[in-house]
Amino acid sequence: MTSIAFIAPDGTRYDIDAPNGSSAMENAIRRDVPGIDADCGGACACATCHVYVDEPHLALLGKPEAMEEDMLDFALDVRPQSRLSCQIRIRPELEGLVLRVPDRQA
């Protein structure tokens, strides 16, 4: 398990023990984090799992794949720290990962 957290637009923090190998999105759905709808079920085809990744973990994630990059064009309020949470695979190095849900998504 790896400890991660989602922060909803209203500031509510969801601390989650996430199984390694799961996607960040799957954990958000399990905890009903508002604003993470994941309409496509993790197929990188909807952008409704958009999050902002805090440093220092953003650097650890590396660059998004081309497919994720393309899909982020459909997300709202995209920033340099934007990622699709279905493409973030939980692993021990991501301990303490904080993901913020964009305001306009909730």
In angstroms, the CA 2 to CA 11 distance is: 22
DSSP string, 60-95: HH-SPPHHHHHHHTTSSS--TTEEEGGG-B--GGGT
46 contacts ligand FES (rule: CB under 6 A): yes
What residues from 1 to 30 belong to the interface with ligand FES (CB under 6 A)?
A: 25
Judged by CB under 6 A, the stretch of 6-14, 46-54, 57-65, 93-101 that binds ligand FES is: 46-54
In angstroms, the CA 80 to CA 20 distance is: 25
Q: Are 99 and 53 within 8 A, CB to CB?
A: yes
- Min separation Cβ 31 and ligand FES, Å: 15
45 contacts ligand FES (rule: CB under 6 A): yes
- Min separation Cβ 13 and ligand FES, Å: 21
Contacts to ligand FES by CB under 6 A = 25, 38-40, 42, 44-49, 71, 84, 86
